[in-house]
Amino acid sequence: MDNVAPLNRSPADKLGRPLRDLRISVMDRCNFRCPYCMPRERFHEHYAFLKTAERLSFEEILRLTRLFVPLGVRKLRITGGEPLLRVNLPDLVADLNAIPGVEDIALTTNGVLLGKHAYELKAAGLSRVTVSLDSLDQDVFAKMNGGFGRVGEVLDGIQHALDAGLGPVKINAVIQRGVNEESVLPLVEHFRGTGITVRFIEYMDVGNRNHWDQQLVVPSKDLQSRIHERWPLHPVKPDHVGEVARRYAFDDGRGQVGFISSVTQPFCGSCSRARLAADGVFYTCLFAQHGTDLRGPLRAGATDEELLRTIRGTWMQREDRYSEQRMTLRARAHNDPKVEMNYIGG
């Protein structure tokens, strides 16, 4: 293959950002209907989810991932939709784990099926899990996920993940004003001192169907001061360039909390994430309106070199920084919808 960057070199995008992370959505379906992601009235029983043949097969995901790695990707995150709905997922993890250059494979899940799969996933080479949990209160939890599952199942999934060695486990909690704000302190209290870090995510305007309203966004700094009043916090230095969450440690040494503040403190400047959607479209931003189809050429017989050139060229043309330009871009976006979260994952 000519034109292939050496393993230790990665093309930069137009804003000088390297390619380091690949988020792979393996499933557009979900067993929840979180109103902020897949509202029930839009993702109803007649909704046209991808057919099996439209989703990338494991072989196709592997082939594409093998091409992303020489361009700089070191970390993979498997997501969805709900990734644990994808049959035989541990087989994919094992094959991804065998790709030279892949250093870390994480999974984001709503946790309901984690109890069943944690050991198999660990054995296959999964490094870590992030579990989404927006409240410990069953009624609020149900409101935040469209009425599915039980808090107990998610906590059980988290325990299985810890027992299987899939730590450090992180919790993602999306907070919406007036809906689950009261769940913040109980979540912190529950996980403080357990080694599990809760990360509070600002409600984002992903896709077009979640009726995003800025009034419902609770700025991270408000949450941080509420938590600080009860359990004093101090900031912690980022672990690596491009870390999405700003982390704070409890002054009493009982762990950390994180804040993912895409709305009030955008982190586009250091974003090194590429996203491969369940149908094989490559997106360079979570809020993208357009992507680059890789499934079409792949199934039409493109060579590795041709696919690599496409991936590389797409990254080099990248200039997305949606979160920094949110209000201007939202005003223009009416006729040109963004891709939905369940295709590309969080």
Residues forming the site for ligand SAM (CB under 6 A): 30, 36-37, 79-80, 82, 108-110, 132, 172, 174, 201, 203-204, 206, 210, 341, 345-346
Nearer to ligand SF4, 25 or 310 (CB): 25
Partner in contact with 203, chosen from ligand SAM, ligand SF4, none, beta carbon below 5 to 8 Å by kind = ligand SAM
Under the rule (CB under 6 A), what is the footprint of ligand SF4? 30, 32-34, 37-38, 80-82, 110, 132, 145, 341-342
Q: In the numeric block, which tokens belong to residue 148?
A: 């599915």
Nearer to ligand SAM, 44 or 237 (CB): 44
Neighbour-count burial of 145, counting CB atoms closer than 10 A to its CB (0-12 exposed, 13-18 middle, 19+ buried): buried
Q: In the numeric block, which tokens belong to residue 245?
A: 């969450």
* Run of H or E including 79: strand 75-79
Partner in contact with 204, chosen from ligand SAM, ligand SF4, none, beta carbon below 5 to 8 Å by kind = ligand SAM
Closest distance between ligand SF4 and the C-beta of residue 336, in Å?
A: 23
Closest distance between ligand SAM and the C-beta of residue 315, in Å?
A: 23
Nearer to ligand SF4, 233 or 276 (CB): 276
Contacts of 123 (CB under 8 A, 6+ apart): 90
Q: Please state, in angstroms and rounded to a whole number, the distance separating the CA atoms of residues 92 and 103.
A: 15
The separation between CA 248 and the C-alpha centre of its own chain, rounded to angstroms, equals 21
* Run of H or E including 56: none
Strands 75-79 and 21-25 come out as: parallel
CA dihedral 159, 165, 170, 171 (to 10 degrees): -20
Partner in contact with 38, chosen from ligand SF4, ligand SAM, none, beta carbon below 5 to 8 Å by kind = ligand SF4
CB 302 within 8 A of CB 293: no
Closest distance between ligand SF4 and the C-beta of residue 25, in Å?
A: 9
- The single-letter code of the amino acid at 324 is E
Nearer to ligand SF4, 108 or 314 (CB): 108
Closest distance between ligand SAM and the C-beta of residue 67, in Å?
A: 24
Closest distance between ligand SAM and the C-beta of residue 332, in Å?
A: 20
Nearer to ligand SAM, 154 or 298 (CB): 154
Contacts of 237 (CB under 8 A, 6+ apart): none
Closest CA to 211 of 186, 253, 179, 256: 179
Closest distance between ligand SF4 and the C-beta of residue 161, in Å?
A: 16
Partner in contact with 292, chosen from ligand SF4, ligand SAM, none, beta carbon below 5 to 8 Å by kind = none
Nearer to ligand SAM, 218 or 298 (CB): 218
